[in-house]
Structure 1
């Protein structure tokens, strides 16, 4: 095959590696493009295009992550990964690992790892690369990669919940949740939430966001049951979608522009965490982005008009 054909065949894998390392769709796409430039510019055709391209995208992503971590230290409010609706890479033998590793909860756990630990963990545990290929990709010995993997596993296991729901249970609970959300049924919402449920938002200082997490089933239910109906009053709509392999929804303004993404984390048969991403810089890959500030002002005007 030609270089172009080799690259296009492997593009889904390259993006999936880059996204999991970076937690950013836009940065992952840039990393894949830089990988193509390196591949196209190489004087010879490598014996294994997969090994060459995987190494290149991993190293590019590690470099980008190192600088991104510095920026994230100054981020306004909680930082969440960019919402991902569809993971382009599929491997039936690794479907569980691929789905779990792209969830927001897992990506936030990965933030605790060093860039090298993160890359080694993903290549070995999620994509099932051999230690020889992992070592080449990160530029370390196999022995060093084994040590990095042990540390990464320890961090990941320490933060991973013990009783996460399966996909069918998550989906059934999400359907009930969004039906109750649509009807403003505070009691039903409360019954679906864990006692210590919390709702957290990522606006990055560029869109309206929660000043601090809303904690407790009662508070979260009342906040959702009173605020969301006001959005519906000004013709905001939502479409349930799987976001980062978990139940969620995309909210849109009356013109169909993306307002924010919502993701549900389900544990022990209840919704434990609701995350929203309103930062417009993280939504552009989903379509035209709404002016969240304008929507917020319209909600306030409508409330004053109907409840003076």
Structure 2
């Protein structure tokens, strides 16, 4: 994902862009893809970045779409009026003939400008995509964030149109899992919004973000390890697998919450609960092979 302003130094690339979708696009959810469907062959996506509570960090967004994605800091445009904003777009994209926005798109000083203000200063085509609903729920990043923070992963996944994921570097854990509890892969979060603390059924993909790499069924814990070292952790136990992990990064995919984070008086009680979590995850993920 490149800086939009970098196109100033790439006029050949900029000249190919004839349509553009404008928005924050921090979640790449099903409503965002309705905007992308309206783009022409020479289309591109401009993410206006506020860097506040992102569902999906900008470095991971290009994976989900073939159109090139560019980013522009909100700080650079938040004081502009509609005419100034359009002048910036058209100066960098001289062949722009089509702009796509959502019905609730706001821009400029005090977010005081609306889609119809674009038309006042743009002679090309303006497509305003209507509100997108999932079973009477208006699809917004804010709602998805709320669902995640309340542990409602399954509903959040429906609005995303995919499994919610956290990606990052594989790091060393506390060291007692493999010896006394269950072997886990520990993850350092790379800027993703974190869901509610607890235990989840899901999947682990080893290595870089990939459409083809295998996703191992897993039970995932996210939260403070209140029963052991009191530190925060994101860790996944691969179900029915005993493999040597050589990859340096991984992605954790969340399917359904199993339970809240809880305190246990002894390691024996914690271990017994982990075994229950494993069996529940196996059932949720409909695994027929041996789990453990």
Q: TM-score, normalised on structure 1?
A: 0.30
When Rg is computed on C-alpha atoms for both structures, the one with the higher figure is 2
